[in-house]
Structure 1
Amino acid sequence: MRPDERRSAIMRAVKSRDTKPELVVRRLAHKAGFRYRLHRKDLPGKPDLVFAGRRKAIFVHGCFWHGHDCARGDRMPTQNRDYWSAKIQRNRARDTKNVRLLEADGWSVLVVWECELKDRASLSSRVESFLA
């Protein structure tokens, strides 16, 4: 398999829902006793977890795809660098816009980054304090 075909196969396999980081955050919220809805289409950005009664939403972002400033998010593919740079910038702009729209409508928003899953205890307390 050629390298470009291999990369295409890898990118096709990337999911936007039910990712491992998202499932971890769901388990943490559920274990803490909070119930939620998933990916509500009527809200800007379709937040990953929505706590409608509390007017709170959680986005779970992959560090690479959303341009986080950690080691994983700071990596840029060597091939087609201009495309990826522009794509990640568009993703960041869209994320910022969606958070602003939600907050303007009275929602509280928490963004959980993929790299934050390394410290589950800290993440759990952060999610619980956000939802309390």
Structure 2
Amino acid sequence: MSASPYPLPSSDAVSVRMRANRRRDTRPETAVRSALHGRGLRYRVDLPIQLPGRRPVRPDIVFTHARVCIFVDGCFWHCCPIHGVEPARNADYWGPKLARNVARDRAVDAALADDGWTVLRIWEHDDPGSAAAVIADLVSEMAHPATGTRSHRTPSDAAG
């Protein structure tokens, strides 16, 4: 039997805590979504976006018409420069694991940009209302650019 690539948990409490981490619908993510919804914005949640030569990417919030993807990143998992901490235990595992997360984030950002998407990453500690304001401005700008190439037509425009 080969050795596991994962270290043994330092305690049963750590195992419980790690298993409880959610992939979607985290408290910071739902707070941002609630603020966006309160501003009248509608979006898709956890929408798989198929990019050429990659597994599907699942941004936390997607504005399909404006082609804007929002990720709400956790400070630990994505190495926040303000709150990210290196674990003292199992550092040989966690250091490379967290570095891979950040590298994957950059690769996903680049792949989405290459496919015509605009990516915005929000930290879990960011104020949801402030984040929603930035997102709303970005979505408005991308959905209605100055050139008019991506603006949508209203029913009254189609009739006339």
What is the TM-score with the length of structure 1 in the denominator?
A: 0.89
Cα offset for 1:64? 0.6
Matches of residues 15-54 of structure 1 in structure 2 within 5 Å? 15-43=22-50, 44-54=56-66
Percent identical pairs in the alignment equals 40
Q: Give the letter aligned to residue 42 of structure 1.
A: I
Query: Structure 1 residue aligned with 2:90, among 35, 59, 80?
Result: 80
> Is 2:138 the partner of 1:130?
yes
- Rounded to whole Å, the distance in 2 between the matches of 1:58 and 1:5 is 34
String of CA shifts for 1:73-97, please: whole Å, max 9, x gaps. 1x11111011111111000011111
Larger Rg: 2
Cα offset for 1:123? 2.2
Of 34-43 and 103-112, the range deviating more from structure 2: 34-43
Of 26-35 and 56-65, the range deviating more from structure 2: 26-35
SS in 2 for 1:115: coil
Partner of 1:116: 126
String of CA shifts for 1:89-121, please: whole Å, max 9, x gaps. 00001111111111111111110101213xx44
What's the Cα RMSD here?
1.6
- Rounded to whole Å, the distance in 2 between the matches of 1:50 and 1:91 is 20
Q: Give the letter aligned to residue 34 of structure 2.
A: R
Runs of 4+ that moved beyond 6 A: none
**Unmatched tracts of structure 1, length 5 or more:** none
